[in-house]
Structure 1
Amino acid sequence: MSATERIEVVLPGKVEPEGLEFRRGPVPVPGEGQVVVRMEATGVSFAEQQMRRGRYYDQPPFPFVPGYDLVGTVHATGAGVGNGLVGKRVAALTKTGGWASHVLLDAADVVEVPEGVGAAEAETAVVNGITAWQMLHRKARIRSGRTILVHGANGGVGSMLVGLALAAGVRVIGTASARHHDTLRALGVTPIDYRTESIPARVRELAPNGVDAVFDHVGGRSLTDSWGLLAPGGTLVSYGSAATRDDTGSKQWPVLKLLGRVWMWNALPNGRSAYFFNVWAGKAFSERRFRARLRADLTEVFTALQRGDISAAVAAELPLAQVAEALRLAESGTVSGKVVLVP
């Protein structure tokens, strides 16, 4: 690949991973206030797994380039952007577009990666870390001495929630398959096997008065159980509907049901609260505030990564040319950590 050539992965429609296509073209030229980032690492997240099935509730129409986040080096800057950014390693949330060798972004949307943090390492902490930080500290506002339940405690967002919560002095109960329990116990998490145990019954044994927050990416019946496990004044944060990944029909309906339940629960006079979390919420109301929060929170996440509060769990690094294999691996459920694409 030449310095002037751009390669991107295109999702043409509802296809198997092998149906992803490659498109070549010139490296874009940044306009005013823009930068071109040469991708060093981009992730395969649950969002892309849903997008290829046409199941992500606000995905763009086909065809488009997936890729929810990326880490890379600033290749070029446009007018109004200082040349000092060129050569700097930065991270960005993109929602789509990250699966490409070069990505055009607004300069205001990139955050510098601290010295000493590698590209793949930083990539694991972008969307997963931001999501975990904002749910824990901005939505649940959890404090030291509290108890929380994290569904999928070994997963991408779940592991970030665990690390950030433990660093804040919070007691963590986490659901995971049995093969992850020893690792969770070593961290100080009390594990529950979601396949063989009754989660509500086990949580009630561990926290008879309920938990102060539940973080639920599963949806469906799990969400109702999670609400019932809250202590007075507790907070439920829903951030996905993994239970519906392989469903057919409307991609919006599972989210609309979640929102309906959240609205109903919040209308009840019981002192508990529920949220459906989307990292992009608020951008439509104030881009400036959204960007300021993103910058501040991602800086906190990178600091936690440097301190060792959270770990960069890289399941595998595969070249962009092997994106189908990477997507298959991420969907297999056989790996722990994030599958990362590199140039």
Structure 2
Amino acid sequence: MSDSIILGIESSCDDTSAAIIRGNQILSNVAANQQIHNEYGGVVPELASRAHQQNIIPVVEKAMTKANIQQKDISAIGFTRGPGLLGSLLVGTSFAKSLSMSLDVPLIEVNHLQAHILAHFIEDANDKAPIFPFICLTVSGGHTMIVLVKDYFDMEIIGKTIDDAAGEAFDKIGKIFGLDYPAGPIVDRLAKTGNDTAFTFSKPRLENYDYSFSGIKTSVLYFIQKEIKKKPEFIQENLADLCASVQKSIIDILMNKVEKAAKDLQINEIAIAGGVSANSALREAMQLRAEKLGWNIYIPKFEYTTDNAAMIAMVAKLKYDRKEFADLSVSATARYDIEEGFTQKSQP
């Protein structure tokens, strides 16, 4: 079945994306971004679903054109069932179901979180694919978790955030600094010219592999409030150092838990996935620990880190080979449990 041609559709948040995969090779990966949310400081669900309705047909057509295929060439259609914004997911789900029915090809539902992890198996995602079992730090605006990946669809969540996700922390702290949304990439850029030891912020003390990022957000807020009382221009004068220090704190929190899990489980195959895996400091921290601890690390190409349809197509291909198809009664679900399709493991 390696010659199968699969259309992947991703619409979980504010990016409308379509991709074509043949075997493990991505032939096209197209996305339409929604800039309108920037002025609101976050994604507005109603606006997002409307934009998906406008974008989905042109995006799918462009993906097919770039891949040089026609509708009759499509073997199956994979789509993001969840988790995500319900209005956004409904657009992608409805379109996928309609096209599947009209072309009379199988429909394949995909767990968005599994897709971030399995993006590593796209042919050009890395120099080589991870070897099972591996540990994957999956970190984005909505999710932060450590997953033990035993096989394509045999995964255990061994740690996750108990409050904010790491990407959410970047955005909320960026807002405190007066940065535009999304703040994560801006913090990363500004941090490059800053001193990451200029300021220290509190870090959580959790015994297991779980994360917490609400504490650092509060720590930064109180610190800034105190400093601007003394000097109103404090943020502007120290912005690069503040960004560098915050970024270092968040990356340290993330990597310390991964290092603990790798040591406890005696696994040196370590991957990162999700939107925050595009962060340059996180990538550098992975490289440094790989050299120090002898890890084999897997860092995906930038285009496969943020929400994209290539990762959806990759999972759909794996499910297609197993003949794991959905029927037309399948529905989108905003709160698709992160454990669904995974195996939940008790904490050590």
Fold in common (TM above 0.5): no
Q: TM-score scaled to structure 1, two decimals?
A: 0.36
Q: TM-score scaled to structure 2, two decimals?
A: 0.36
